[in-house]
């Protein structure tokens, strides 16, 4: 299932193409469900009732961002009683909302960057200016692929950045700017998740935005990241801890910032449907670990079926 109404529609199409190419035609018969930018389904929507979709054994959602990665489509799969790849309703919603994710991880003791959350009714830059120093990063709370993200170096830029972010979400996160390195780690599994070795992203621009990720093709990646052994071990530990904290299953890419001045790791984001494009690091990190793309896809489907078997054994009434 791919496409969707979010600003990451085109990325979803590219990810889906890679996933479909990796599926073994001897094992799988692929049924394509494409959702266009207006939310129209082809060939038609899934029926939201158990046993209402007899031709589907398992769903592989490759829907990034709003309406695909935020728990909404996962709720439909739950109503339909269908196995599906990736995080469930709660984990998807919690990881997608940067404010909620930070609160959960902070409660767990996981280091997250200091931030201020503003809502549509109170998009006042003064609160952020009073609590955080410049530069600041301004992000829509519920969006991915760096859509709507700006870096603000003064109050005037902050006001503009808030206006841009507010076009994409009614809740906006303002974070203290971290000067340092951008790192990513792939996590795979259900009850016993495993973390890959991390990679480092070296942006070609001031920060790793949508253009740098998908259009310019100039950002550099280092896999594995050149880190001290204890830093690598700590990053992998935190990645799994954060994954469990938001109750992820199946897969997630966990992103970090390593502050240069303090050498401190900060959890940045948890992406429950990471990219699978030709330049995406989630499959590349597992390939480096000895799990090629085709086997990774097999394993994700296996994890989906295993979770579904457990869920089917539960009782929902007395």
Q: Where is 282: in which H helix or E strand?
A: helix 281-288
Q: Known catalytic residue: 38?
A: no
- Give the integer Cα–Cα distance in Å for 150 and 164: 8
The answer to whether the beta carbons of residues 73 and 41 sit under 8 Å apart is no
The catalytic position among 18, 145, 268, 280 is 145
The catalytic position among 14, 236, 253, 307 is 253
The catalytic position among 275, 280, 282, 307 is 275
The catalytic position among 86, 208, 269, 280 is 269
Question: Which of 215, 225, 228, 216 minimizes the C-alpha distance to 281?
Answer: 225
The catalytic position among 214, 243, 266, 282 is 214
Q: Known catalytic residue: 249?
A: no
Q: Known catalytic residue: 269?
A: yes
Strands, E, within the chain: which ranges? 2-3, 34-35, 41-42, 115-119, 136-140, 150-152, 171-176, 180-189, 194-195, 199-202, 220-222, 250-259, 265-271
Q: Known catalytic residue: 145?
A: yes
The catalytic position among 255, 280, 282, 307 is 255
Q: Known catalytic residue: 92?
A: no
Question: Which of 272, 271, 290 minimizes the C-alpha distance to 224?
Answer: 290
The catalytic position among 6, 18, 196, 271 is 271
Q: Known catalytic residue: 209?
A: no
Residue 163 is given by DSSP the state H
CA 273 to chain centre: 5
The catalytic position among 8, 69, 175, 184 is 8
Residues belonging to the active site: 8, 145, 214, 253, 255, 269, 271, 275
């Amino acid at each position: 299932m791919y496409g969707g109404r979010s600003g990451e529609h085109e990325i979803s199409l590219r990810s889906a193409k890679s996933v479909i190419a990796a599926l073994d035609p001897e094992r799988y018969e692929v049924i394509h469900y494409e959702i266009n930018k207006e939310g129209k389904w082809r060939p038609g929507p899934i029926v939201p009732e158990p046993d209402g979709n007899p031709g589907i054994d398992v769903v592989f959602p490759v829907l990034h961002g709003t309406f695909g990665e935020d728990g909404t489509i996962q709720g439909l799969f739950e109503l339909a009683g269908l196995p599906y790849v990736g995080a469930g309703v709660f984990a998807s919603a919690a990881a997608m909302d940067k404010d909620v994710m930070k609160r959960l991880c902070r409660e767990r003791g996981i280091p997250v960057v200091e931030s201020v959350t503003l809502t549509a009714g109170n998009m006042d830059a003064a609160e952020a200016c009073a609590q955080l120093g410049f530069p600041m990063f301004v992000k829509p709370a519920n969006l991915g692929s760096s859509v709507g993200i700006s870096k603000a170096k003064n109050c005037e830029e902050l006001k503009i950045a808030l206006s841009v972010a507010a076009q994409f979400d009614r809740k906006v996160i303002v974070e203290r700017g971290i000067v340092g390195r951008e790192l990513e780690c792939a996590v795979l599994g259900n009850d016993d998740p495993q973390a890959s070795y991390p990679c480092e992203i070296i942006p070609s621009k001031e920060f790793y935005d949508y253009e740098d990720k998908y259009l310019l093709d100039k950002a550099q990646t280092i896999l594995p990241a050149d880190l001290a052994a204890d830093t690598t071990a700590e990053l992998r530990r935190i990645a799994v801890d954060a994954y469990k904290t938001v109750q992820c299953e199946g897969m997630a890419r966990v992103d970090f910032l390593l502050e240069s001045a303090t050498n401190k790791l900060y959890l940045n984001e948890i992406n429950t449907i990471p990219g699978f494009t030709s330049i995406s690091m989630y499959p590349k990190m597992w390939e480096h670990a000895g799990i090629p793309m085709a086997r990774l896809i097999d394993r994700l489907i296996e994890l989906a079926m295993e979770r579904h078997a457990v869920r089917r054994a539960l009782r929902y009434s007395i």
